[in-house]
Structures are given as C-alpha cells and as structure tokens.
C-alpha cells in the first residue's frame, strides 16, 4: 500500500514539476535610452504558465544600423516576422535568430522564400554580392548561393516547385497571361484576361493570379458593367496547364473598384483555407475549387480555435472569438495565437491622457486579459511552446 502511494505521489510530482508546459511570447523592443533613437533592439521573451505571466527574459540585443556601410541591418520593423520550427525567429529583414542558443544564425538581409525542414530558402537581388537563391542550413549555420542563374523576377508568380511562372502582358488591351518555363520558354495561355479593376490612383490595375499546385492556377477577369463608372462582374477562372483547360469556377456581380479600393487578392487563412478578397467591400469568400463555388466566410480563422468576425471595416475594433465565445471588441495590431492563448500589440491613452503601448494577452485558462506595458514596442513576433524555461 505504501509503495502504491509513493508511485502516485511521484507521478503527480513529475506532472507538476517536470512536465509543466510554458508558453513564451517573443517580442522585439527598442531600447529607450539609446543615443540614436530606435537604433538598438532587444529580442525578449514573456513567459507564461497556466495563462499567468511569470517572468521576462532578454534573449539578445543588437544595434540596428552598423557603422560598416555595407553591413545589413538587424530589423524587426519591416515585413513579416515569424517563429520557425518553434525555435528560430525569422525577421522581415531576413535575419535569423536561434532562441535556444540566443545567437544569430545569420544577420544577412535577404528575402525569405520558404522553409524546407532544416533549410531556409532566401533570395538576394544585390548588385554587389550577387543575385540568386541562397540556402541557410540551420544546423551548421552555412549560408550560401545555390542558384545564381534562375533569377526570381519581381513580376513573376512562381508555381510551388518553381519550375513554372506566370507573367502578365499589359502592353495592349486586353491583357494576356503568359506561362514561362525553362523547357518551352514563354507561351501565351490566356489571350483575353480583361483589363483588371478600374484604376484607383494608388495601384495600377492588374490581373490577380494564384497557383493551386504545380500545374493549375486561378486568375480573375474583370468585366466592366456598361453604364457604370466603377462596377464590374468578376469571373474567377481555373486554368490547368497540363490540358490547356480554362474554366470559370465562381462569379461575383457588381464588384466595386476604383478610387480608394485596391486590387483583389487570393490569400490563405491561418488554418490553410483558400480565400478570395475584393477591394470593396472588404469581404472574404471561401474558395471551393472542387465544387466550383464561393462559400460564405463569416469568421476569419486565426488557428487554435481563435477567429475574428469578418464584417465591416474595423473602425470600432475587431471582435475576437474563441471557439464559440466572444472575447469582445479589441484594437490589436496582429493576432498571435497558440494553444488557448492570443496576443497582439495595443496602444491607448490612460486616465491621465498619456500615451501607452505594449502587448495584450488573453488566456483560456484564466479567462482574462493581461496588459504588458512596453515603453517602445518594435514588433510582437510569435509564440514558442516550451517544456521548461531555458536559461
């Protein structure tokens, strides 16, 4: 009986002490007292246990712009920062930091393309150091060119395997969709792709394309309605390169474009669903390529059972949903989610009308928001799950 009690006690002790899970929010913060404003950034970790903030660790700090003229900057205020493999921070500027070793894997400033296991793929377009694809080996830290011939053109949309690409010929109306490959060169697939949405002064009208896989893609064709200055019918086409087959899978009537309304786009939500969004109204449609239709999409899925209500323009903030429960209306910059936790940057005025900023965190375990005031936020980056807190 005594031995059974000891086993039960040891199992409970193990679960609470050794098997405890921690969730760490990684944030980039500017040093406030730097002689040159905004020229020093800390990467820090706010550590939570059972939804409660328990500690803050400084991971690494670095000068943003170095004295060496050609040295790449270390920045977290450009593009999208994210966590890769629950271990590496990849900044929008192309820097990569190992959170376990608290060290830079590379401070190079290149465009992130994709991750392939322990290898990250970047692209460089630099007249001084060369143009082409580079591979970063996360285990060894080796960073080198692997392709300096096949250049990633800015105006091309590449298939997932990078063997095919699309370009739009906008020299004459109607626009044309061209397919480019090493085997066949350039060939025109779509002779009449329309003329895109009405010009708006901010963006040139364009034909939106999106690769579904290595052999088929979507594109949108705007058909301007007669007698209207800014309304079009939009046909969403599915083109299969293998069979040269072009078919319409969905139609939107009376889409408004023009001044103040940007071009349309295809995107994926946080759980991998394909969405189509028009400039106006700013509403997402769920794309069903199998049944060839659009479906209603009332909630934008953020992952881990979190979502936002897909309505309006966000003037009063966005309503957050966890499972089926509302978390209220909130003004947050970005939504960073993990199991039972959501965070984002906030800014507000206090009772004394002073300006405050930082990050807000909600936990399903505490069912409450925690505000972490930070004097100068650079960027909230993402979550890391940990079995223990590494020192």
| Closest-CA residue to 160 (of 207, 121, 111) | 121
List phi, psi (to 5°) of 3. Answer: -65, -35
CA–CA separation, 376 and 216 (whole Å): 46
pLDDT of residue 131: 80
3-class DSSP assignment, residue 8: helix
pLDDT tens figures, 332-354: 998 999 999 999 999 887 666 67
Phi, psi of 104 (to 5 degrees): -75, 135
Each residue's pLDDT tens digit, 176-214: 999 999 888 999 999 999 988 877 656 677 899 999 999
CA-to-CA distance for 29 and 61, rounded, in angstroms? 9
Q: Tell me, rounded to whole angstroms, the distance of Cα 209 from its chain centroid.
A: 18
The mean pLDDT of 149-169, rounded to a whole number, is: 79
**Burial letters 272-304, b for 16+ CB under 10 A, else e:** ebbbbbbbbeebbbbbeeeeeebeebebbbbbb
Q: How many domains does the chain have?
A: 1
Kindly tell me if the per-residue pLDDT of 14 is higher than 50: no
On the 0-12 / 13-18 / 19+ scale of CB atoms within 10 A, 264 is buried
pLDDT single digits (tens) 257-281: 765 566 789 999 999 999 998 865 5
| Domain annotation covers residue 302 | no
User: Does residue 134 form part of some domain?
Assistant: no
Q: Which domain holds residue 203?
A: 157-297
Q: What is the pLDDT of residue 11?
A: 47
139 pLDDT higher than 90: yes
328 conformational bin, left if phi > 0, alpha if psi -120 to 50, beta if neither:
left
In this prediction, residue 174 carries a pLDDT of 93
Residue with tokens 């972490």: 372
Cis peptide before 174 (omega within 30 of 0): yes
Is residue 249 domain-resident?
yes
Q: Average pLDDT of the chain?
A: 86
Peptide bond into 294 cis (omega under 30): no
pLDDT range class, residue 301, cuts 50, 70, 90 = very high
Is 138 part of any domain? no
* The pLDDT of residue 390: 52
| Within a domain: 374 | no
Does 386 fall in a domain? no
Q: What is the DSSP string of 125-179?
A: EETTTEEEEEEEETTT--EEEEESSS---TT-EE-TTSSEEEEEE-SSSSPEEEE
Q: Distance between CA 234 and CA 224 in Å, rounded?
A: 8
pLDDT winner (highest mean) among 149-153, 162-166, 237-241, 297-301:
237-241
pLDDT of amino acid 162: 84
pLDDT score of 149 more than 70: no
Three-state DSSP state, 35: coil
Q: Is residue 126 part of a domain?
A: no
Q: How far apart are CA 76 and CA 93, in angstroms?
A: 7
**E-only strand ranges, 50-149:** 52-63, 82-84, 88-90, 96-98, 103-106, 111-116, 119-126, 130-137, 143-147
What's the chain's Rg over C-alpha atoms? 25
pLDDT digits (tens, 9 = 90+) for 351-375: 666 788 999 999 999 999 999 999 9
Cβ neighbors of 354 (< 8 A, separation 6 or more) are: none
Check residue 379 and give its pLDDT.
Answer: 96
């Amino acid at each position: 009986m005594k031995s059974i009690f000891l086993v039960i006690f040891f199992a409970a002790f193990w679960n609470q002490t050794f098997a405890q899970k921690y969730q760490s929010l990684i944030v980039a913060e500017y040093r406030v007292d730097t002689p040159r404003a905004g020229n020093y950034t800390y990467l820090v970790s706010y550590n939570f246990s059972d939804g409660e903030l328990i500690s803050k660790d400084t991971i690494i700090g670095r000068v943003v712009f170095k004295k060496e003229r050609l040295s790449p900057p270390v920045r977290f205020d450009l593009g999208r920062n994210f966590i890769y493999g629950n271990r590496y921070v990849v900044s929008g500027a192309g820097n990569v930091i190992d959170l376990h070793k608290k060290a830079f894997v590379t401070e190079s400033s290149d465009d992130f393309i994709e991750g392939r296991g322990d290898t990250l793929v970047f692209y460089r377009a630099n007249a001084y150091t060369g143009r082409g694809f580079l591979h970063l080996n996360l285990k060894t830290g080796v960073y080198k060119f692997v392709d300096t011939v096949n250049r990633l053109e800015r105006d091309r949309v590449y298939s997932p395997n990078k063997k095919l690409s699309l370009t739009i010929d906008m020299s004459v109306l109607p626009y044309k969709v061209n397919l480019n490959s090493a085997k066949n060169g350039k060939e025109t697939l779509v002779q009449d792709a329309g003329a895109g949405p009405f010009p708006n002064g901010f963006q040139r009208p364009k034909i939106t394309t999106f690769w579904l896989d290595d052999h088929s893609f979507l594109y949108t064709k705007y058909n301007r309605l007669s007698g209207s200055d800014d309304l079009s019918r939009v046909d969403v086409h599915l083109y299969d390169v293998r069979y040269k087959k072009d078919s319409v899978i969905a139609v939107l009537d009376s889409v408004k474009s023009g001044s103040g309304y940007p071009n349309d786009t295809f995107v994926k939500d946080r759980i991998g669903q394909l969405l189509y969004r028009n400039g106006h109204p700013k509403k997402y449609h769920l794309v069903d390529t199998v049944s060839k239709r659009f479906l209603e999409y009332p909630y934008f899925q953020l992952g881990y059972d979190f979502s936002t209500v897909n309505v309006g323009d966000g003037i009063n903030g966005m309503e957050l949903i966890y499972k089926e429960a509302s978390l209220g209306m909130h003004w947050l910059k970005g939504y960073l989610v993990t199991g039972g936790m959501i965070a984002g940057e906030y800014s507000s005025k206090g009772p004394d009308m002073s300006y405050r900023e930082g990050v807000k965190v909600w936990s399903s375990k505490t069912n409450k928001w925690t505000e972490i005031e930070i004097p100068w936020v650079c960027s909230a980056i993402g979550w890391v799950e940990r079995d223990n807190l590494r020192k």
